[in-house]
Structure 1
Amino acid sequence: MAQNLMRGDGFGVVLLLYWVLLVLLLSCGRAGSEPTRDKQALIAFLSQVPHGRRLVWNESESACGWVGVGCDPTNSSVYFLRLPGVGLIGRIPPNTLGRLTQLRVLSLRANRLDGEIPPDFSQLKLLRSLYLQNNRIAGDFPASIADMGGITRLDLSSNNFTGSIPFSVGNLTSLTGLFLENNGFTGKIPSGVPPKLVDFSVANNRLNGSIPTGYAKFPAAAFANNVDLCGDPLPSCNPFFPVPSPSPTSPPTTIPHKKHKKLSTAAIIGISVAGGVVILLLILAVIFLLLRRRRTKERSKTPKPPITTAAMAVGEAGTSSSRDDVSGVPLAQPSKLVFIPGGGYSFDLEDLLRASAEVLGKGSVGTSYKAVLEEGTVVVVKRLKDVVYTKKEFEELMQNLGNVKHQNLLQLRAFYYSRDEKLLVYDYLPAGSLSALLHGKAFVVQIFAFGDTLNKKRSLSNDYATSPIELGWVGGRLGSRGSGRPPLDWDSRLKIALCAARGIAHLHASGNVVHGNIKSSNILLKQDNLDASVSDFGLNPLFSSSTPPSHRIMGYRAPEVLETRRVTTKSDVYSFGVLLLELLTGKAPNQASLGEEGIDLPRWVQSVVREEWTAEVFDIELMRYQNVEEEMVQLLQIGMACVTTVPDQRPSMQEVLKMIEEINRGDPDDGMQQSSDDALRGGSDGQTPPTDSRASPPGITP
């Protein structure tokens, strides 16, 4: 060819120009950064599927820059398509997405897709993660999935699939997560188990028969609510042949009866006399106790000599009186302010009583004050009410709570117990609470001496909590959006959710403590970096179970708490889920105007997602931030999983923490960023996610 080009004839010149042009075209094709064939397939898909107004693709731009689309490093093929919760409606049209032959991750979860999966999905042989949960897709288990030999995560949960689960599922050797719950699958679970499977669920289907031994490693919740499944981890299956009954020829076993002799007359008289003596002794003992109590009351009414004002304040608090012993017997030592080791404070109770104080808020367990001591130390004093614990029980509980230490837990520094007063001392965090940051900040203009507060005979609810002169709300009533309040951006909300989850997870795992009163006013913020600390944890045992729980946790309470009046780690998860919904919606859980009178926040979110589309749920302040929609949808799904009605179907706080930590904007497949879907499921290739951390909330289903 070189010899032909060296010749000067016209054919050689044309051939040379041809090769130059071909090289230029190839180089321009590499630099053009446009997957033309895949772009046509995406346009065909979007043009045939109705969708929400938020999803707009500009055909004049590169498909690699479209919302939800990710390409390979050379921008020659589409690798990722993530369109969760964008309002897609109807069937997935054939000859569209099946043409994306280089696709690695496909997420169409939380939409309104129906019909069957197109058979041309079998062309997606490089697909690794497929997320179709929370749609209305029907038909048999997609046969095209059996051709996806490299798939690792498959989620078809919360759809309308029917028929049996095919044996070919066991041939998916790379599969690590298979989620088929909340469908209508029938028949038996196939015996073949993918060798790498670590996450699995077929709950809420119509399956029957014995569970194959390879699936026995998964929890019972993965098989719950089916027609007739049995075998490990569920109860054993009944044997096919019944156990034979005893032979009728066997003589019946009889138990000989002993003949009882009648008591003699002398024995009856002796028993009667002894019983009369015992009754007489009991009557005398009751009379003696009544007389002793009467003398004790008379002694307590004897007038005491007058004391100074300072001593009166201390006496009312119980430091120089004998009233902290419930039995009325004087104690050898007066009550003192007990410090938790390592707190760093050195003041005593008298210093605290002389401190100037202001009301920070009246909560469900008591009233909190900001106390400024004479040397300048600032602390928060919580004055408890309705405590039923004895002094010994109270001190043991406080010592246990004081030993629970974590950077996202507000550390208990000291406590005090007398018959009339129970006080807790905490650090003061100047940035306030999450509730104030979201809904408007409470302020109190009344300042007084803390010792004077303890001397008042009326409760604080009468003195300070209802007066419009002394207590007000910046920006209007509680639950409204305060005027002049700085907007809380998405990164700050996600950070607050993460810090709170870490604190509560530490309570459950390390301290074995149930919080019992999770709400936004108990999430306190540090001044500079918006790190959150969880307060008021572990105090629920102090109060009587006869007090209605709705008075303590209001809109955050789990359904079972209202019935049993017992808080558990699962009810904590429910309350934390409401907290996440509050962060996402900007609405207070106890706000009555959520669409209809009396509806709570979780039901309101479910109704909006079901009747409209997911984006309507989010706080309008969050819509100004770009490229965070998928993260918000992921956190919404976590929140809805937490507020599931059945406690056993809620994830643990450790699993919730794992899911929040894994929220980001990518996917680790092929060395790229982490997939948001794998993050919500609890892991990706090379990582073992927590059991059942992948549950999508049933309430998100349209």
Structure 2
Amino acid sequence: MKLRCVFAALSFIWLIPQMIADLNSDKQALLDFAANVPHARKLNWNSSTSVCTSWVGITCTKNGSRVLAVRLPGVGLYGLIPANTLEKLDSLMILSLRSNHLSGDLPSNVLSLSSLRFLYLQNNNFSGNIPSTLSPQLNWVDLSFNSITGNIPASIRNLSHLVGLNLQNNSLTGFIPNFNLSRLRHLNLSYNYLNGSVPLALQKFPLSSFEGNSMLCGPPLNQCSTVPPAPSPSATNFPPPPTVLPKPREGSEEKLSTGAIVAIAIGGSAVLFLLFLMIAFCCLKKKDSEGTAATKSKGIRNEKPKEDFGSGVQEAEKNKLVFFEGCSYNFDLEDLLRASAEVLGKGSYGTTYKAILEEGTTVVVKRLKEVVLGKREFEQQMEVVGRLSQHPNVVPIRAYYFSKDEKLLVYDFIEAGSFSALLHGMNRPIIFSFASNSSLSYQR
């Protein structure tokens, strides 16, 4: 038994240099990526700090030997993904670069990493074709809202672990491959330029998975039309010879009475008026249907997720969440609005929510409804709050949002125990709020 323990300890000691070398390789690959891709939001990636404990958006394995996930949504990444950077992370399982400004072809060397499970590249400016060499272990692929062209690769049928596939709002063309994946639960190919019929294995998905492809047919869309062949010419199809009417004899013509002439004129006028009304109605109906279809197509291509916090958040001011110095959170306003929210309490000046983001981060959001402040005055108050929140007994404020109709404060979520402990405890954290005279106040 002792000998076995000695061998295990020696094996672990032998593996330590290899683990350090692998992590250093991952660290250098990430530093090369950050150095070659411009980004609007500052990353705290530093060669002198630990990758696994202090770098924004980076998650490592439990033993801290390799980088497991890279999550950088909405940090303002611009341009191409450089070669010889992310593809060196050969233990990478999760890659999320959504809601940035990345462009160029999709990085085939990254998408083919055998360890990759979850890929989120939606809401960028990628173009070109979808690579045919995708990781066979992929569980979820989201390439929606880009400018990707070409056909859907037939190699999709080899992704036996695939659960979700989002390719909507691109410029994909051609037929849909007949991929019958038993684990596939979510599919969206809408608003592309696909044609042909929906494969039988995919007809179980709803209409919303395929709409917006005008040349696509078959269930759950309209049935594909079949044009009957033209009949072969035959003798029976020739028109009959014209019939010659007998010429009336002279003197047999009878003059119409005045009443008959008036009746014919009135009837003709009525027929012309009805015909005019029918033509006008058809033109108006056609114009309305074209306008509705165009508005629907444009609207769905630009649809935004429903907002969970405040109807006053303006479209032009999205992603204007302001983070305080030292904050390690990595989400934007769109992520916050999509989070599942639970009301923690209501006060005189607003409501407090517990928000769980889609990546598992839990924060507290305070919505200030009754506070009337200008932007400059609000930002000055936030500077004061940021300085005071460094006190150990103060719940640190991490970010804030300001618009004319909506003001949000973001705090850390702290498991505070029972209500009695909060009410009578000596070291209760302080939460800052705004009083009616727009000055700063606090409460324990």
Among 105, 110, 132, which residue is 1:121 paired with?
110
Among 309, 313, 335, which residue is 1:580 paired with?
309
CA contact (8 A) 1:88 1:112 kept: yes
Alignment of 1:57 onto 2:52: no
Q: How does 1:87-102 map to 2 (within 5 A)?
A: 87-102=76-91
Please give the alpha-carbon distance, in whole angstroms, between the structure 1 residues aligned to 2:84 and 2:131. 16
Counterpart of 2:153, as a letter, is P
Q: How does 1:437-476 map to 2 (within 5 A)?
A: none
In structure 2, the CA distance between the partners of 1:189 and 1:58, relative to structure 1 (3 Å rule), is same
Among 138, 141, 148, which residue is 1:154 paired with?
141
Which string of whole-angstrom CA distances, capped at 9 and with x for unpartnered residues, describes residues 506-547 of structure 1?
Answer: xxxxxxxxxxxxxxxxxxxxxxxxxxxxxxxxxxxxxxxxxx
What TM-score, normalized to structure 1?
A: 0.36
Among 135, 144, 153, which residue is 2:133 paired with?
144
Q: Which residue of 2 aligns with 1:235?
A: 222
Please give the alpha-carbon distance, in whole angstroms, between the structure 2 residues aligned to 1:144 and 1:231. 29
Q: How does 1:174-573 map to 2 (within 5 A)?
A: 174-241=161-228
Please give the alpha-carbon distance, in whole angstroms, between the structure 2 residues aligned to 1:205 and 1:59. 43
Which string of whole-angstrom CA distances, capped at 9 and with x for unpartnered residues, describes residues 64-113 of structure 1?
Answer: 12100100011111110000000110001111111111001000000000
Please give the alpha-carbon distance, in whole angstroms, between the structure 2 residues aligned to 1:28 and 1:101. 18
CA positional deviation for 1:192: 1.8
Please give the alpha-carbon distance, in whole angstroms, between the structure 1 residues aligned to 2:217 and 2:304. 34
More divergent stretch after superposition (158-167 vs 625-634): 625-634
Which string of whole-angstrom CA distances, capped at 9 and with x for unpartnered residues, describes residues 358-386 of structure 1?
Answer: xxxxxxxxxxxxxxxxxxxxxxxxxxxxx
Structure 2: runs of 5 or more not aligned: 1-9, 239-291, 293-302, 341-354, 362-444
Q: Which residue of 1 aligns with 2:6?
A: none
In structure 2, the CA distance between the partners of 1:94 and 1:189, relative to structure 1 (3 Å rule), is same
Cα RMSD for the two superposed structures: 3.7
CA contact (8 A) 2:68 2:92 kept: yes
CA contact (8 A) 1:631 1:664 kept: no
Please give the alpha-carbon distance, in whole angstroms, between the structure 1 residues aligned to 2:304 and 2:160. 39
What TM-score, normalized to structure 2?
A: 0.55
In structure 2, the CA distance between the partners of 1:114 and 1:50, relative to structure 1 (3 Å rule), is same
In structure 2, the CA distance between the partners of 1:234 and 1:29, relative to structure 1 (3 Å rule), is same
Please give the alpha-carbon distance, in whole angstroms, between the structure 2 residues aligned to 1:24 and 1:576. 48
CA positional deviation for 1:171: 1.1
Among 128, 153, 157, which residue is 1:166 paired with?
153
Q: Which has the higher helix share?
A: 1
Q: Which residue of 1 aligns with 2:121?
A: 132
CA contact (8 A) 1:137 1:160 kept: yes
In structure 2, the CA distance between the partners of 1:625 and 1:226, relative to structure 1 (3 Å rule), is farther
Counterpart of 1:228, as a letter, is M
> What is the number of equivalent residue pairs in this alignment?
276
Please give the alpha-carbon distance, in whole angstroms, between the structure 2 residues aligned to 1:576 and 1:144. 31
Which string of whole-angstrom CA distances, capped at 9 and with x for unpartnered residues, describes residues 432-484 of structure 1?
Answer: xxxxxxxxxxxxxxxxxxxxxxxxxxxxxxxxxxxxxxxxxxxxxxxxxxxxx
In structure 2, the CA distance between the partners of 1:78 and 1:89, relative to structure 1 (3 Å rule), is same
Counterpart of 2:202, as a letter, is Y
Among 61, 68, 75, which residue is 1:86 paired with?
75
Please give the alpha-carbon distance, in whole angstroms, between the structure 1 residues aligned to 2:214 and 2:304. 32
CA contact (8 A) 1:169 1:193 kept: no
Q: Which residue of 2 aligns with 1:103?
A: 92
CA contact (8 A) 1:33 1:75 kept: no
CA contact (8 A) 2:308 2:338 kept: no
CA contact (8 A) 2:29 2:88 kept: yes
Please give the alpha-carbon distance, in whole angstroms, between the structure 2 residues aligned to 1:100 and 1:28. 19
Alignment of 1:48 onto 2:36: yes
Which string of whole-angstrom CA distances, capped at 9 and with x for unpartnered residues, describes residues 123-155 of structure 1?
Answer: 51011000000000111112231xx11100000
Please give the alpha-carbon distance, in whole angstroms, between the structure 2 residues aligned to 1:109 and 1:90. 13
CA positional deviation for 1:632: 4.6
Alignment of 1:635 onto 2:330: no
CA contact (8 A) 1:189 1:211 kept: yes
CA contact (8 A) 1:33 1:74 kept: no
Please give the alpha-carbon distance, in whole angstroms, between the structure 1 residues aligned to 2:141 and 2:164. 6
Structure 1: runs of 5 or more not aligned: 1-21, 250-562, 564-573, 583-587, 590-600, 640-659, 667-702
CA contact (8 A) 1:80 1:104 kept: yes
Counterpart of 2:122, as a letter, is Q
CA positional deviation for 1:186: 0.3
CA contact (8 A) 2:339 2:357 kept: no
In structure 2, the CA distance between the partners of 1:105 and 1:662, relative to structure 1 (3 Å rule), is same
Please give the alpha-carbon distance, in whole angstroms, between the structure 2 residues aligned to 1:43 and 1:119. 20
CA contact (8 A) 1:140 1:161 kept: yes
CA contact (8 A) 1:230 1:237 kept: yes
Among 346, 356, 360, which residue is 1:665 paired with?
360
Please give the alpha-carbon distance, in whole angstroms, between the structure 1 residues aligned to 2:15 and 2:91. 22
CA positional deviation for 1:24: 10
In structure 2, the CA distance between the partners of 1:40 and 1:123, relative to structure 1 (3 Å rule), is farther
Structure 1 segments of 4 or more deviating over 4 A? Answer: 22-25, 30-34, 242-245, 622-625
CA contact (8 A) 1:631 1:663 kept: no
Please give the alpha-carbon distance, in whole angstroms, between the structure 1 residues aligned to 2:15 and 2:183. 43
CA contact (8 A) 2:151 2:175 kept: yes
Aligned-pair identity (%): 37
Residue 148 of structure 2 aligns to a residue in which SS? strand
Q: Which residue of 1 aligns with 2:60?
A: 71
In structure 2, the CA distance between the partners of 1:226 and 1:58, relative to structure 1 (3 Å rule), is same
In structure 2, the CA distance between the partners of 1:118 and 1:75, relative to structure 1 (3 Å rule), is same
In structure 2, the CA distance between the partners of 1:629 and 1:222, relative to structure 1 (3 Å rule), is same
Q: Which has the higher strand share?
A: 2
Counterpart of 1:55, as a letter, is L
Which string of whole-angstrom CA distances, capped at 9 and with x for unpartnered residues, describes residues 651-674 of structure 1?
Answer: xxxxxxxxx7663536xxxxxxxx
Counterpart of 1:198, as a letter, is R
CA positional deviation for 1:40: 1.0
Please give the alpha-carbon distance, in whole angstroms, between the structure 1 residues aligned to 2:305 and 2:93. 34
CA contact (8 A) 1:99 1:123 kept: no
Residue 35 of structure 1 aligns to a residue in which SS? helix
